[in-house]
């Protein structure tokens, strides 16, 4: 079985062909340009590949409600050329096959639940920390939707006592994404994250913000696993700092072994690694067949 996968990001689109076992057989990365340019390259990639379904994990906000008039649209994104763009409608012009559509992070949590770190679990959260911050959630075996879809990257966080940075988010300034995304790190410290690896204060502050969010997700959703990926998390020393802060923030209130004793196995990087997003899109395509 051949399934197409699109990880549609604000910076790049990753295109792939995979199978029902989560194996990526072919992939291509292209820059995210204006829709007409990017989508022409997407359509060319999949032409003649005989895919049976297509999954799209997309930057947002999007409309994932199949009963909505704007289902399949990217909606109020700050990437203005993509605002109110019907990405699924454009793909349907060329490919008459089942299509799955969701946020990139909801796709990633589905991928990790299907083949990765959350396999055989009933609930999990996937957080990506990179150009932006987003999170997808699976609860009782289903991806979370509602009025829209989770926008957990924009929760409010309390400010670190040493942090005077105004915040990067164009909507909220000092929400989680505004304080802890890759661009926020660069603007606050004047260098990209990989150039700041040895400066402990940078990562203590980053862990302070991310741990607040994770503790809140634990309290609200009670997931069985929390998976944290994205470019910023390539700083592997962040994981122990975040875990320590989460334990401190929860203060013994969640009296579970997973938190108090086995947190190294509870807050983890994606098992699918750099393929988490693409495999997530693959899982969305597979789900559309069912």
Using the structure block, give the residue that is written with the tokens 């994104």. Answer: 77
Report whether pLDDT(215) > 90.
yes
CATH architecture designation of domain 120-269: 2-Layer Sandwich (3.30)
Using the structure block, give the residue that is written with the tokens 């940078």. Answer: 202
- Quick count: other Cβ atoms within 10 Å of Cβ 55? 32
Q: What is the DSSP letter of 173?
A: B
Question: Coil, strand or helix: which one is 67?
Answer: coil
Report whether pLDDT(290) > 90.
no
Q: Is the dihedral of CA 21, 221, 245, 178 positive or negative?
A: positive
Cα–Cα distance measured from residue 284 to residue 111, given in angstroms and rounded to the nearest whole number: 8
User: Pick from 205, 180, 183, 181: which is nearest to 192 by CA?
Assistant: 183
> Could you tell me what percentage of the chain is helix, strand and coil, using 3-state DSSP and rounding each to the nearest 5?
40, 20, 40
Distances from the Cα of 20 to the Cα of 4, 23, 24, 149, 281, angstroms = 11, 7, 10, 26, 12
CB 216 within 8 A of CB 155: yes
Cα–Cα distance measured from residue 167 to residue 77, given in angstroms and rounded to the nearest whole number: 18
Residue range(s) in the chain whose domain bears CATH number 3.30.420.40: 3-107+274-289, 120-269
- pLDDT tens for residues 92-110? 999 999 999 999 999 999 9
User: Pick from 276, 275, 248: which is nearest to 263 by CA?
Assistant: 248
Report whether pLDDT(10) > 90.
no
CB 211 within 8 A of CB 259: no
Q: What is the DSSP letter of 131?
A: S
Task: Write down the pTM of the prediction.
Answer: 0.95
Distances from the Cα of 37 to the Cα of 47, 72, 119, angstroms = 16, 19, 37
CATH of domain 3-107+274-289: 3.30.420.40
- pLDDT tens for residues 55-103? 999 998 999 999 999 999 999 887 889 999 999 999 999 999 999 999 9
Summarize the confidence of residues 174-196 as an average pLDDT: 97
- Mean pLDDT over the full length of the chain: 96
């Amino acid at each position: 079985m051949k399934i197409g996968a699109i990880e549609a990001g604000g910076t790049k689109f990753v295109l792939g062909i995979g199978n029902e076992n989560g194996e990526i057989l072919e992939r291509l990365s292209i820059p995210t340009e204006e829709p007409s340019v990017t989508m022409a390259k997407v359509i060319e990639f999949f032409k003649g590949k005989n895919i049976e379904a297509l999954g799209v994990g997309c930057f947002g906000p999007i409309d994932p409600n199949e009963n909505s008039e704007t289902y399949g649209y990217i909606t109020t994104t700050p990437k203005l050329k993509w605002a109110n763009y019907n990405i699924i409608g454009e793909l349907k012009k060329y490919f008459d096959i089942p299509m799955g559509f969701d946020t990139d992070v909801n796709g990633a949590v589905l991928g990790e639940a299907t083949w990765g770190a959350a396999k055989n679990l009933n609930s999990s959260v996937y957080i990506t920390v990179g150009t932006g911050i987003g999170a997808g959630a699976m609860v009782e075996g289903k991806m979370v939707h509602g009025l829209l879809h989770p926008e957990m990257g924009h929760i409010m966080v309390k400010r670190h006592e040493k942090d005077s940075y105004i915040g990067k988010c164009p909507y909220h300034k000092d929400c989680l994404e505004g304080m802890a995304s890759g661009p926020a790190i660069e603007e606050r410290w004047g260098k990209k994250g990989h150039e700041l690896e040895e400066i402990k204060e940078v990562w203590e502050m980053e862990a302070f913000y991310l741990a607040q969010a994770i503790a809140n997700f634990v309290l609200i959703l009670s997931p069985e696993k929390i998976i944290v990926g994205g470019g910023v998390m390539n700083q592997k020393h962040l994981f122990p700092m975040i875990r320590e802060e989460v334990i401190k923030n929860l203060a013994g209130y969640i009296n579970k072994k997973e938190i108090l004793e086995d947190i190294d196995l509870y807050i983890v990087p994606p098992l699918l690694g750099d393929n988490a997003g693409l495999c997530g899109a693959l899982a969305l395509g597979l789900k559309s067949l069912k």
